Structures are given as C-alpha cells and as structure tokens.
Amino acid sequence: MVMRLTKMLTGEKVQISENPPLSLIKATLNDMDFIEELFHTEMDEIVNIAWNGKFRWESWFKDINEALSLKSHHVLLIQDTRQNIGFLWMNKEISTLWITAIVLKKEKQRNAIGSQVMTHLIDECKEDGIQAIELGVQQNNKAAMSFYTNIGFQKFDQVRSAGTDLLRLKLSEQNDLF
C-alpha cells in the first residue's frame, strides 16, 4: 500500500488531530493484549448476536496476528495523547481501501474521535487516488451503521451468515461532511 501514511506504517506516530489530540501508530505483536481486550469488551455482544453465538474469536485473533506481519495489511493503534483508545485494521485492494475493523473504547465513542479518524483516512485516500473505502458492519450495530451512513457510505451487499452489511464510500462522490 503506497499511501501518504508511510510514516505511520513504518512505526512513526502520526498526529491526525490536535483537538482532541489523536495519533495513529503501527501496532505490533506486543499490542495484541490490548486489541483482544478491546474486542472482547466492545464487540463481544454485537458479534455474538450477529453470529448467533458461533463466532470464533481465536480464529479472528490469529488472523490479526498474521496481518501484523503482512505488508498488505495495516493494523494501527488509535492513541489519545499516549493512551491506546482504539485500533484500526485495513488493507488496500486495487483501488479500494478495505477496513476490516475499527474499534474505540466505549467511553471514547461519540466524542468526534471516529469522525477525526475517518476524515484523516478519507483525505489520505483521496490524495493517493483510492476510489472507494469499503467495510462491513454488523446489522445489529445501529450506532456504527448510523455513523457510516451519515458520512455517505451506502450498502452494496451483505453477508447473511454473518449478519453483516457491506458498505462502500465512493470517494469521487464524497463531500466534506464533517
């Protein structure tokens, strides 16, 4: 993935916002405890409902571990000053950026942090000629669905077995909504 995010993807912290003070930095294997805990505290209920209790976290965490060593995948920590408050997992597929996961601590949600992260990603993607950003949202995650549709993401497909709607933001059609 050749993006202006190069500094961040090599491990250098990149400040994306001053108010609130937010940075992105490449995650390492040492960050897996934080990532696993974050998923269990923030996503367990949503994912278990969507998957009827059949989701296998251990398989998913194995995938994240592998992604940490792949050049095509980028696992980033979202930091507020020096504290980890969330994480982002993404990869580029031809001219599309696929966001596998973006999760914030519950107490940090609805504080414009998600908007700041998405604004930064959208700006970087536009700058690098990426045509769309895609992601999946659990159908029972009404807050996330509202957040993404308010930005301009539109449903283009679904994964019925996972209770997931696939959303796409076409960057050529996206206006500055934040």
**Which CATH number goes with the domain that contains 86?**
3.40.630.30
Count the alpha carbons within 13 Å of 106 in the hemisphere toward its beta carbon: 9
Residue with tokens 């283009």: 156
Examine residue 178 and state whether it is found in any structural domain, yes or no: no
Q: What is the pLDDT of residue 34?
A: 92
d(C-alpha 54, C-alpha 131), whole Å: 34
1 is a domain residue:
no
Q: Note whether 131 and 169 are within 8 A (CB).
A: no
Does the pLDDT of residue 3 top 50, yes or no? no
Q: What are phi and psi of 144, to 5 degrees?
A: -65, -40
What is the domain range of residue 152? 6-173
The pLDDT tens digits for 52-98 are 666 767 777 788 778 887 777 888 899 988 799 999 988 888 888 99
Tally of domains within the chain? 1
Structure letter (DSSP) for residue 34: H
Edge to edge, the sheet with strand 154-159 lists: 14-18, 21-26, 73-80, 83-93, 96-104, 132-138, 164-170, 154-159
pTM here is 0.82
Please check whether residue 141 lies inside any domain of the structure: yes
**End-to-end Cα, the chain, rounded Å:** 26
pLDDT-above-70 percentage for the chain: 84
**Residue 71: closest CA among 41, 43, 91, 51:** 91
Cα torsion through 18, 103, 100, 55, rounded to 10: 170
